[in-house]
């Protein structure tokens, strides 16, 4: 699923619940400022791209997808650096 150059400003919990076969979500160049805790609940994503959303300052909770993600792109947002490093390490080493 690709939603780019849109007006998305919030991703609700269970936003993709009815699309459980999704393997990739691209939400680049929107106006996303918040992503609810369980936005990706029930998914088995392999690739997640949330880039170029300057209003996004909190790292989303990855929950179910933390164990299936192979590629994660969160650059060009307004995320804090030291916290991001921990998130990336947890995803890479699955802990």
CA dist 2 and 28 (Å) reads: 8
Q: Please give the pLDDT value at position 36.
A: 93
Kind and range of the H or E element at 48? Answer: strand 47-49
Percentage of the chain surpassing pLDDT 90? 59
CA dist 56 and 45 (Å) reads: 20
Residue 93 has pLDDT above 50, yes or no: yes
Q: Please give the pLDDT value at position 78.
A: 87
Q: How far out from the chain centre does Cα 79 lie?
A: 12
């Amino acid at each position: 699923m690709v939603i780019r150059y849109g007006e998305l400003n919030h991703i609700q919990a269970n936003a993709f619940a009815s699309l459980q076969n999704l393997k990739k979500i691209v939400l680049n160049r929107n106006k996303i400022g918040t992503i609810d805790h369980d936005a990706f609940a029930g998914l088995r994503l392999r690739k997640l791209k949330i880039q170029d959303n300057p209003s996004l300052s909190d790292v989303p909770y990855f929950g179910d997808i933390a164990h299936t993600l192979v590629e994660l792109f969160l650059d060009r947002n307004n995320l804090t650096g030291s916290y991001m490093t921990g998130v990336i390490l947890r995803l890479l080493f699955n802990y």
